[in-house]
A = this chain, B = another copy of it.
Amino acid sequence: MPMDSFNKKALAFMEKTKRSPGFICRKIWKVGRDDPRRAIHALKVGFSLTLVSLLYLMEPLFKGVGQNAIWAVMTVVVVLEFTAGATLCKGLNRGFGTLLAASLAFIFEFIAREYGKVFRAVFIGASIFLIGTSTTFLRFFPKIKKNYDYGVVIFLLTFNLITVSSYRVDDILKLAKGRTYMIGIGSGICILMSLFIFPNWSGEDLHNNTITKIEGLAKSIEACVTEYFNVEEPNSDIDETMEDPIYENYKAVLDSKSTDETLALHASWEPRHSVHCHKFPCQQYVKLGGVLRHFGYGVVALHGSLQTEIRTPISIRLLFKDPCIRLASEVTKALMELSGSIRNRRQCSPENITEQIHQALQDLDTALKSQPRLFLGTNSPYNTPKMLAMLTTTAKQKFEHHLSNMNTDSSSERKPKGVSDQTEKRVLRPTLSKLAITSLEFSEALPIAAFVALLVELVARLDFVIEEVEKLGRVACFKEFKHAGDVVVDVERRMKTEINVSSFATGE
Cβ of A441: which chain B residues have Cβ within 8 Å of it?
Answer: 365
Task: Find out whether the CB atom of B290 lies under 8 angstroms from the CB atom of A418.
Answer: yes
Cβ of A291: which chain B residues have Cβ within 8 Å of it?
Answer: 416, 419
Docked Cα-Cα span, A254 to B463, in Å, equals 22
Query: What 0/1 pattern do residues 25 to 63 of A give for CB contact below 8 A with B?
Result: 001100110010011011101111110011011100010
| Number of residues of chain A lying within 8 A (CB) of chain B | 124
Q: Nearest B residue to A296 by beta-carbon distance?
A: B297
Tell yes or no: A368 within 8 A of B by CB.
Answer: yes
Tell yes or no: A165 within 8 A of B by CB.
Answer: yes
Docked Cα-Cα span, A17 to B75, in Å, equals 37
Task: Find out whether the CB atom of B53 lies under 8 angstroms from the CB atom of A125.
Answer: yes
Q: Nearest B residue to A304 by beta-carbon distance?
A: B457
Given contacts A53-B124, A290-B419, 7 further A-B contacts (CB under 8 A): A42-B140, A70-B161, A287-B419, A301-B301, A416-B461, A445-B449, A449-B453
Cβ of A373: which chain B residues have Cβ within 8 Å of it?
Answer: 376, 380, 382
Query: What 0/1 pattern do residues 450 to 466 of A give for CB contact below 8 A with B?
Result: 10111011011101100
A77-B157, A157-B78 known; A57 and B167 CB under 8 Å? yes
- Return the contact of A42 from the options B73, B134, B305, B354 (Cβ within 8 A): B134
Task: Find out whether the CB atom of B454 lies under 8 angstroms from the CB atom of A128.
Answer: no
Number of copies: 2
Q: 7 tightest A-B contacts by CB? A: A375-B375, A450-B453, A46-B133, A449-B449, A301-B301, A46-B132, A42-B137
Tell yes or no: A160 within 8 A of B by CB.
Answer: yes
Query: What 0/1 pattern do residues 273 to 309 of A give for CB contact below 8 A with B?
Result: 0000000000000010011011001101100110011
The contact sample of 14 A-B pairs, CB cut-off 8 A, is A35-B140, A42-B134, A50-B129, A56-B164, A77-B156, A294-B419, A297-B300, A301-B457, A304-B457, A305-B453, A354-B432, A376-B376, A426-B467, A439-B456
Query: What 0/1 pattern do residues 421 to 453 of A give for CB contact below 8 A with B?
Result: 000001001011011001101110111011011
Task: Find out whether the CB atom of B73 lies under 8 angstroms from the CB atom of A160.
Answer: yes
In the complex, chain A residues 160-187 whose Cβ is within 8 Å of any chain B Cβ: 160-161, 163-165, 167-168
Q: Nearest B residue to A57 by beta-carbon distance?
A: B121
Tell yes or no: A4 within 8 A of B by CB.
Answer: no
In the complex, chain A residues 109-153 whose Cβ is within 8 Å of any chain B Cβ: 121, 124-125, 128-134, 136-137, 140-141, 153
Docked Cα-Cα span, A309 to B156, in Å, equals 54
Tell yes or no: A493 within 8 A of B by CB.
Answer: no
Docked Cα-Cα span, A441 to B500, in Å, equals 48
Docked Cα-Cα span, A300 to B129, in Å, equals 47
- Return the contact of A365 from the options B429, B438, B449, B463 (Cβ within 8 A): B438
Cβ of A459: which chain B residues have Cβ within 8 Å of it?
Answer: 435, 439
Cβ of A131: which chain B residues have Cβ within 8 Å of it?
Answer: 46
Tell yes or no: A232 within 8 A of B by CB.
Answer: no
Tell yes or no: A189 within 8 A of B by CB.
Answer: no
Docked Cα-Cα span, A2 to B463, in Å, equals 41
In the complex, chain A residues 375-402 whose Cβ is within 8 Å of any chain B Cβ: 375-377, 379-382
Task: Find out whether the CB atom of A463 lies under 8 angstroms from the CB atom of B77.
Answer: no
A42-B137, A57-B121, A435-B358 known; A453 and B457 CB under 8 Å? no
Task: Find out whether the CB atom of A446 lies under 8 angstroms from the CB atom of B453.
Answer: yes
In the complex, chain A residues 289-336 whose Cβ is within 8 Å of any chain B Cβ: 290-291, 293-294, 297-298, 300-301, 304-305, 308-310
Q: Separation in Å of the A237 CB from the closest CB of chain B?
A: 22
Tell yes or no: A188 within 8 A of B by CB.
Answer: no
